[in-house]
Amino acid sequence: MTNRSRPQGRAAAWPRLLPLIPLLLALGQARAQQAAGPGGEEEGAGGAAAELRTQQLQPVLLNKSRGLLGDAGSASEGTVSAAQLALRPLLRAAEALETVPGLIVTQHSGDGKANQYFLRGFNLDHGSDFASHLAGMPINLPSHAHGQGYSDLNLLMPELISSLRYRKGLYAAEDGDFATAGSARIELRRRLDEPLAELSLGPHAYRRALLAGSRDLPSGGALLAAVELAGNDGPWEQPEGLYKRNALLRYSEGSERQGFALTAMAYRARWTATEQVPERAIASGEIGRFGALSPSDGGITRRDSLSGQWAGSDRQGSSRAAVYVIRYGLQLYANPSGFIGSAEGDQHEQVDRRQTWGGALSRQWALPELASQLELGLQLRQDRVSELGLHETHQRLRGLAVRVDRLRQTQTGLHAELHSRWSDALRSSLGLRWDQLRGRVSPLAGEFNAGNGGAARGSQLSPKLGLVWGPLAWAGRSEFYLNWGRGFHSNDLRGATSRFSPVDGAPQQAVPVLARAEGAELGWRATPLPYWHSSLSLWQMRMGSELVYVGDEGVTEPRGSSRRLGLEWANDLALGGPWRLDADLAWSRARWSEPQGELGGRHLPNAIPFTASAALIMDERGPWSAGLRLRYLGAYALEDSGQHKSSPFWTANLQLGWRWHPQLQLRLDVLNLLNRRGNDIEYWGNSCTRAEGPACGGAAGEGLDGRLIHPMEPRSLRLALRATF
């Protein structure tokens, strides 16, 4: 056996930031231009006027652009600005996505691993049916070692987000792979009004340092730089030892609508994880509530990228282009089933090493004689995976290679969309998208893997249709929407090229390369009062093949077709002065098309049927600012029959800010304010604890059925000091 892991010791990282302080001071010599000036940020996306220092909002911006009357194509799309993100207490960086109404972000392992996402009755696992983009680059990784569509947003620095544009459903021709439940496009700032340095501390060895600043250059462009170092042990009996390094360098000219940006990013993380554990192990006292079965789960990951974005306009219309190249690596050690296989444990290592390159090009033409706008676009992506492996391990030492492959896959997408205005109160959108995925899998190792591999391809034509009636002054200034469309998610290419199980060599049926989805939505959006924006969506969806997370194996696998329907209600209210309230409710019903499992059940495991959230914000008009957020998750089925369900729970997070000097601010985040006792995630699966031993499953050796849980972190305080220059 060879040890493939790196030392996990805690590094004294903070002194490494000291040489950057003179750089930030130099950047402070030039202030950013105002949003209306040359090169300002795009209006409606928050803009450069959303200052990190003052975080002051104008009343018209006190919403998530759900008041897009006359512009929106559906009731379930919107934009979140930087200022609206500034007062949200975040346990994890990816929780910025919870500004999307109804979307839930959680974790079932260490904080260096991609988060778990839930939306519209989907257990999205790590991103299987929600497409995420950052600065023009796709985040989801197809044919990933751990889970299809793996979307790791731990590299986000929330302070650098300029806007987050989201869509739910599959009604936009621009959205391709994984965008069945929805999509999010995160844009980064091009300038900061002032360089900043921030230091955050909290219990359990939590610490975070951020240095960021920008400078206008004589060439007319702007240079932005940021460095983040973070660490955390968490409440776990086995310290997490998270150590994260993050850096960004961006050169830009102009704005998102008329200009370009070149962005270099580098991200590294290592951690020791406390995986989900059998609930009975805690109840029996074998381990504590925050205990672990395996002392060496966790991982090491990296991501380096270089990307470019360009946008321009002329008399005939506008154009956009994006290119990117990404280098990515992951070594993930996990033992979700405990000790079914041996007294040494069932730990395995999942390895993913790849390079991804691609780009997108689109052109919009104004057709005034037809009162229309036509958009055509091309998207291209190739993933070259040099190592895609699954190994049996003990204490991160490799043993048997279960399966190792080399993979290359190319995805091509063409899309067209025609937006037409038929009258002052009626407009439509007609879209068409064509996608093709082709690739080849080459087996490298594995006792039963030699007979697998080969080439596979799939394609799909996806029409889209949208109708909008409004705005209608007589109906409380309302709009009504009707949307329909087809979309898809891709499946792991190894599943489409494997004829035999890599575990025991048994014959197995190949899965389709692309799994079709079809959905429709009836929506309403209104401004009943000047400072109250509300939207309502009734939707349904059919999936040709469902990706389901298997808790005792730690992977996703395709299963049968499914149906979903749901109702969502989102509201934003300006309460007067600095106060704002947003409140969201989401209900869904997810069922298999055909009975599944031994009991013939139709429930989709881990599909959350009801969520609710509310946030009360006091933006900074004087020295004080505050944000309080409540979140409720209803009970969900853990397995197909629906007999076993999770426990519902709600949590509250609080943020208080105090500026006692124009350039100094103190902020306190209280996470899990009321110290609620709940579980971030619950699964149903087979497992054996160390005390039970491998014989716990009897002669079949399958382990014992039961709940696998990952407890929610208890109340914790994080104190941050920010200085601007």
CATH number, domain of 72, equals 2.40.170.20
Q: How far apart are CA 521 and CA 468, in angstroms?
A: 12
Tokens at 225, concatenated: 């730089």
* Radius of gyration for the alpha carbons in the chain, expressed in angstroms and rounded: 25
Average pLDDT of 431-437? 98
Percent of the chain residues topping a pLDDT of 90: 75
Alpha-carbon 19 to chain mean position: 33
- Nearest CA to 138 among 317, 366, 305? 305
Q: What is the 8-class DSSP label of residue 720?
A: E
Confidence of residue 180 (pLDDT cuts 50, 70, 90): very high
Is pLDDT above 60 for 216?
A: yes
What pLDDT is recorded for position 65?
Answer: 46
Residue 392 lies in a domain: yes
Is pLDDT above 60 for 61?
A: no
Is pLDDT above 50 for 294?
A: yes
pLDDT tens, position by position, 20-33: 434 443 444 333 33
pLDDT tens, position by position, 35-57: 334 333 333 333 333 333 333 22
Reported for 249-252, long-range contacts at CB under 8 A and 24+ positions apart, including other chains, are 249/223, 249/224, 249/225, 250/188, 250/190, 250/223, 250/224, 250/225, 251/221, 251/222, 251/223, 251/224, 252/39, 252/190, 252/191, 252/221, 252/222, 252/224
Helix, strand and coil percent figures for the chain, each rounded to 5 = 5, 55, 40
Q: Residues near 695 by Cβ (< 8 Å), separated by ≥ 6?
A: none
Is pLDDT above 90 for 342?
A: no
Q: Which residue has the higher pLDDT, 19 or 403?
A: 403
Residue 375 lies in a domain: yes
Residue 183 lies in a domain: yes
Q: How far apart are CA 639 and CA 399, in angstroms?
A: 32
Of 63-72, 192-201, 451-460, 508-517, the poorest mean pLDDT is in 63-72
Task: Using alpha carbons only, give the angle 630, 635, 637 rounded to the nearest 5 degrees.
Answer: 145
Of 83-87, 137-141, 217-221, the poorest mean pLDDT is in 83-87
Rounded to 5 degrees, φ, ψ at 429 are: -135, 135
pLDDT tens, position by position, 478-516: 999 999 999 999 999 999 999 898 888 889 888 899 999
Q: Which residue has the higher pLDDT, 168 or 60?
A: 168
- Helical (H) or strand (E) element with 83: helix 82-85
Residue 41 lies in a domain: no
DSSP three-state, residue 313: strand
What pLDDT is recorded for position 47?
Answer: 37
DSSP three-state, residue 129: coil
Provide the sign of the torsion angle of the four alpha carbons 637, 638, 641, 647, taken in this order: negative
What pLDDT is recorded for position 700?
Answer: 62
Is pLDDT above 80 for 554?
A: no
DSSP three-state, residue 681: strand
What pLDDT is recorded for position 64?
Answer: 46
Rounded to 5 degrees, φ, ψ at 703 are: 80, 180
What pLDDT is recorded for position 488?
Answer: 97
Q: Tell me the residue range of the domain where 84 lies.
A: 16-33+55-724
Domain count along the chain: 1
CA distances (Å), origin 205, targets 10, 95, 236, 243, 697: 10, 21, 12, 11, 39
Residue 297 lies in a domain: yes
What pLDDT is recorded for position 42?
Answer: 38
Confidence of residue 7 (pLDDT cuts 50, 70, 90): very low
Q: Where are the beta strands (DSSP E) in 126-221?
A: 130-134, 137-138, 161-168, 182-188, 196-202, 206-216
Tokens at 503, concatenated: 């575990």
- Nearest CA to 575 among 521, 519, 522, 614? 614
What pLDDT is recorded for position 551?
Answer: 53
- CB count, 10 Å around CB of 285? 9
Of 151-165, 210-224, 334-348, 687-701, the poorest mean pLDDT is in 687-701
Q: How far apart are CA 591 and CA 601, in angstroms?
A: 9
CA distances (Å), origin 602, targets 433, 610, 637, 721: 32, 18, 10, 51
Average pLDDT of 318-346? 94
Confidence of residue 94 (pLDDT cuts 50, 70, 90): very high
Of 167-171, 409-413, 500-504, the poorest mean pLDDT is in 500-504
Q: Which residue has the higher pLDDT, 153 or 38?
A: 153
Q: Which residue has the higher pLDDT, 415 or 660?
A: 415
Is pLDDT above 50 for 337?
A: yes
Average pLDDT of 708-722? 96
Residue 10 lies in a domain: no
Is residue 142 reached through a cis peptide bond, with omega within 30 degrees of 0 on the bond before it?
A: no
Residue 5 lies in a domain: no
Is pLDDT above 90 for 460?
A: yes
Give the per-residue SS3 of 614-655.
EEEEECCCCCEEEEEEEEEECCCECCCCCCCECCCEEEEEEE
Residue 28 lies in a domain: yes
Is pLDDT above 60 for 693?
A: yes
- 246 by Cβ neighbours in 10 Å (0-12 / 13-18 / 19+) ranks as buried
Confidence of residue 530 (pLDDT cuts 50, 70, 90): confident
Q: What is the 8-class DSSP label of residue 3?
A: B
Is pLDDT above 60 for 156?
A: yes
Spatial contact of 724 and 195, defined as CB atoms under 8 Å apart? yes
Dihedral through CA 284, CA 286, CA 291, CA 296, nearest 10? -140
Is pLDDT above 50 for 649?
A: yes
Tokens at 481, concatenated: 């929407």
Q: What is the 8-class DSSP label of residue 287?
A: S
Give the amino acid at 639: E
DSSP three-state, residue 164: strand
What pLDDT is recorded for position 79?
Answer: 92
Rounded to 5 degrees, φ, ψ at 158 are: -55, -30
What pLDDT is recorded for position 559?
Answer: 84
- Nearest CA to 358 among 415, 434, 411, 320? 411
What pLDDT is recorded for position 4?
Answer: 40
Task: Using alpha carbons only, give the angle 199, 201, 204 rounded to the nearest 5 degrees.
Answer: 150
Whole-number mean pLDDT of the chain? 88
What pLDDT is recorded for position 336?
Answer: 87
